[in-house]
Chains A and B, each alone.
Chain A
Amino acid sequence: DAGVTQSPTHLIKTRGQQVTLRCSPKSGHDTVSWYQQALGQGPQFIFQYYEEEERQRGNFPDRFSGHQFPNYSSELNVNALLLGDSALYLCASSYRGTGSSYEQYFGPGTRLTVT
């Protein structure tokens, strides 16, 4: 049973560029959440997708957007990259069905460096 997978593993971009990160949820999961983890900090919630819609959003600007596909996989897009966007981006999947505790399982992350 494959867990949560993310691609790419590492990415280097230049300030002002745009980036797309990808996530495939754990088998049987239908909900994907994205977190940003700056160096030496705990993860910060960006947003969550369920049924192909953004259901909840953290305190992040509109430069951060996402998408969920019918197969439950998800993309995180960041436009007009800033140096401060350099971080580890974590994807977490969960099952939102009846009786679920919405326990989130994390992927290995994508390390984004903005120069």
Chain B
Amino acid sequence: AQTVTQSQPEMSVQEAETVTLSCTYDTSESDYYLFWYKQPPSRQMILVIRQEAYKQQNATENRFSVNFQKAAKSFSLKISDSQLGDAAMYFCAYRRSSNYKLTFGKGTLLTVNP
């Protein structure tokens, strides 16, 4: 069974600085997707960034980028120029390409200090 591990229950960063959230996963599949979701106190889960496993290039969305290491099964999220609105719970998630089920990690609570 696929598992997703987020080893950092909590992280904090100063406003305008950079922070990296870690995620590792376990799978025997070769074709899959990886995601980072953000869940603010309002509870709505918002997709931050997506990475297809067959793509070697790391995904980037504005201030958010990933470091995807397929052989190491590692998928970290870097947030640059952190803003107060980035404060939230961040979840790493995995999905097989032929499947619809998302498997989530336990999350990392990010605090942004002014």
Contact = CB atoms under 8 A, between A and B. Distances in A.
Contacts of B107: 40-42
Contact of B44 (A41, A44, A58, A108): A108
B106 A109 contact: no
Contacts of B99: 56
Interface residues of B, number: 22
B47 A103 contact: yes
Contacts of B84: none
A66 to B, nearest CB: 14
B37 to A, nearest CB: 8
A104 B95 CA distance: 11
Contact of A42 (B42, B91, B101): B91
A86 interface: no
